[in-house]
Amino acid sequence: MASVQQWAAAVDRGLVGPGADPAERGLVYGTAAAGTGLAVAAVAPAAPPLWAVALVGLVAFDLFGGAAANATAAAKRAFHAPGRTARHHLGFVAAHGQPFLLALAVPGLGWVAAAVLYALALAGAVAVTAAPGAVRRPVAFSATALALGVTTVTVDVPGELAWLAPVLFVKLLLGHLLPEESRG
């Protein structure tokens, strides 16, 4: 049986990235905690069942923390290591079905809205991974801006989940899909 220390190290590697330094870990966990607090405080006045509040909190922890984590050098080394392909990146984005989980927990978020958010993340990921390296960064920012525009104009998201689309798109399209820029 693994010790608590081994378990904590495995969680740390999985959430922050292998080889993360203390500053990266602190930033990721601090962002995850603050985002979770914000999301829970936003949904609590609607008085949902405790399981729904817990689910919103878990999703927020993952998305807010992941937005910070995916921008760290540790995550960039792991996600953009030799042998990592567009298929790996698209699989990571496809695994983020959190809009559907939140549609279960928050009555104001419908299945169509969840599907639109999910489809926009996937479409953006396809555009970014298909783009040539020289324009991948501007394509990611364009896809994020357009996805946020579409979401804002066409998707009915309850106020307590107003954070969902921006944080989801930042985590996946800007954080996860972009490799570290080389420094000259």
What is the mean pLDDT for each group of 10 consecutive residues in the chain (184 residues)? 67 76 94 98 94 97 96 89 91 97 95 98 98 96 98 95 98 93 51
Is 131 strand, coil or helix?
A: coil
pLDDT at residue 16, as a whole number = 79
pLDDT the model gives residue 81: 87
Enter the tokens of residue 48: 């949902």
Residue 170: phi and psi, rounded to 5, are -65, -45
> Which of these, 135, 131, 140, 138, lies nearest to 177 by C-alpha position?
140
Q: What is the pLDDT of residue 17?
A: 79
For residue 10, the model assigns a pLDDT of: 65
pLDDT of 184: 41
Give Cβ neighbours of residue 50 (< 8 Å, ≥ 6 apart): none
Determine the pLDDT at residue 44: 95
- 124 vs 145: CA distance, rounded Å: 10
pLDDT of residue 1: 60
